[in-house]
Amino acid sequence: MADKKLVEAVTSMEEDFAQWYTDVVLKAELVDYTSVKGCLVIKPAGYAIWELIQEELNRRFKETGVENVYLPMFIPESLLQKEKDHVEGFAPEAAWVTIGGSNELTERLCVRPTSETLFCDFYKNEVHSYRDLPKVYNQWCSVVRWEKETRPFLRSREFLWQEGHTAHATAEDAKNRTIQMLNVYAKFMEEVLAIPVIKGQKTEKEKFAGAEATYTVEALMHDGKALQSGTSHNFGDGFAKAFGIQFADKDNTLKYVHQTSWGVSTRMIGGIIMVHGDNDGLVLPPRVSPVQVCVIPIQQKKEGVLDKAYELRDRLKKAGIRVKTDDTDKSPGFKFAEAEMRGYPIRVEIGPRDIEEGKCVLVRRDTREKLEASLDKLEDEVGTLLETIQKDMLERARRHRDEHTYIAKTKEEFVKLFSEKQGFVKAMWCGEQSCEDEIKEKLSVTSRCMPFEQEKLSDVCVCCGKPAKKMVYWGKAY
């Protein structure tokens, strides 16, 4: 009964996707609620995923010359006011500190929603000559945005992220860095998280407050909704002019720097859950799974079984595989259900008869397929299987996305698709915000991006019928 109860506690995704998601994050013990409204405890199982994300992104960032720094979490109001569009964009979500100790502050401090203004203030004193450029900095920190509606990992009032902030001598260097970092994100999403993405540019309406251009990677979740999974912003010299960040160039003239910023957050963990999870819980891609293999001893009270389970664990660990043995006194059925709930990519089952025959059973979490493996060659077989699972999970997610990407050439088709289907819709657009506003108002659909790989689906805008300028991916989003 106990094994059954564990899975029954998860609402099926077909019945209620939002409830399924909440059940999984709680039952897999990724997070817990707190007495601070809109803020969560990220538990060890959830934080371990974030650590692997952090480790891998850090490595990839540093390969491109990024250095890590840390700036304050408080932003004086006067500093925030310097870039008009930027402050207006964040004003509705800002949290303010007005008292320090028992004294009222002479100037309000904003708890950082993002750190552009602080980096600008810092660069103003740091950059004097072209020899000081580029500055390619990143910080890992938490930010605060006073969200009305919250959901674990996807939207909370405080969340963890990284924010890169760079300063360059030329517009071209800044644009190149913006695209370079977007490509780092796209490769990371596909190679590590097994999530295929669409790369493109945000429209004027959807771009970051204060940016010249915003680029994005968009992913499709299992329920057909889009998730903005990472963004990269080109600021041009707008922030530099507002903050007076100038440098003496090679020709001895004073010029303004060109800046970028780019970030991804713990919402990526929400993406992993919603792209790969199933009705029995998490399904984690091996490269981001804190436990890649769970060894489960069968009839563990029988002599030699636990010892063999520990021996296999130690051998796999030595081979560089993240592994644990479930040696608790729960029934095997309960242990299987728990390993599935937590999304471990491979389960190794070992019992007295297996030991006699010199083999064990490997169970894939993604397909439930059972395979026999020779104990002598376990490390090789597990290593190969982990790679296969990683590849298969990306292919499965890509197939799901492609099967749920539709084309609309007329307004009727566009409206019909969003009323009947769930997924991305590709359609042409005239470039006018009025059409974007109308689509959002009538269909609750937003432009996700103008993909770098443009296609000419028709000559006219899907909304107003005027000549089309861009092909856009549209979707309902988290």
Domains and CATH numbers, the chain: 2-276 (3.30.930.10), 291-383 (3.40.50.800), 405-475 (3.30.110.30)
Residue 231 CA to residue 207 CA, distance in Å, equals: 10
pLDDT of residue 323: 98
Centre a 10 Å sphere on the Cβ of residue 44 and count the other Cβ atoms it contains.
10
Q: Which residues pair with 407 in a beta bridge?
A: 426
Report the alpha-carbon distance of residue 94 to residue 322 in Å, rounded.
40
Among residues 124, 120, 140, which one has the least CA distance to residue 132?
124
- How much is the pLDDT for 3? 47
Quick: pLDDT tens for 61-76: 999 999 999 999 999 9
Q: Decide: pTM greater than 0.85.
A: yes
Spatial CB neighbours of 159, under 8 Å, sequence gap ≥ 6: 142, 143, 145, 153, 265, 266, 267
CA-nearest of 394, 139, 440 to 265 is 139
Angle ∠(304,351,357) on CA atoms, nearest 5: 90
The first and second tokens of residue 64, run together, are: 């491109």
Helix (H) or strand (E) holding 293: strand 293-297
- Which residues are CB-neighbours of 367 under 8 A, at least 6 positions away? 392
pLDDT of residue 134: 98
Residue 111: other Cβ atoms inside 10 A: 18
Percentage helix, strand, coil, to 5, in the chain? 40, 30, 30
Specify the pLDDT at position 86: 77
The pLDDT score that the predictor gives to residue 7 is 52
Per-position pLDDT tens, the chain of length 478: 444 455 567 999 999 999 999 999 999 999 999 999 999 999 999 999 999 999 999 999 999 999 999 999 999 999 988 877 777 878 889 999 999 999 999 999 999 999 999 999 999 999 999 999 999 999 999 999 998 888 999 999 999 999 999 999 999 999 999 999 999 999 999 999 999 999 999 999 999 988 999 999 999 999 999 999 999 999 999 999 999 999 999 999 999 999 999 999 999 999 999 999 999 999 999 999 999 999 999 999 899 999 999 999 999 999 999 999 999 999 999 999 999 999 999 999 999 999 999 999 999 999 999 999 999 999 999 999 999 999 999 999 999 999 999 999 999 999 999 999 999 999 999 999 999 999 999 999 999 999 999 999 999 999 999 999 999 999 999 9
- pLDDT (tens digit per residue) in 77-98: 999 888 777 778 788 899 999 9
pLDDT digits (tens, 9 = 90+) for 171-202: 999 999 999 999 999 999 999 999 999 999 99
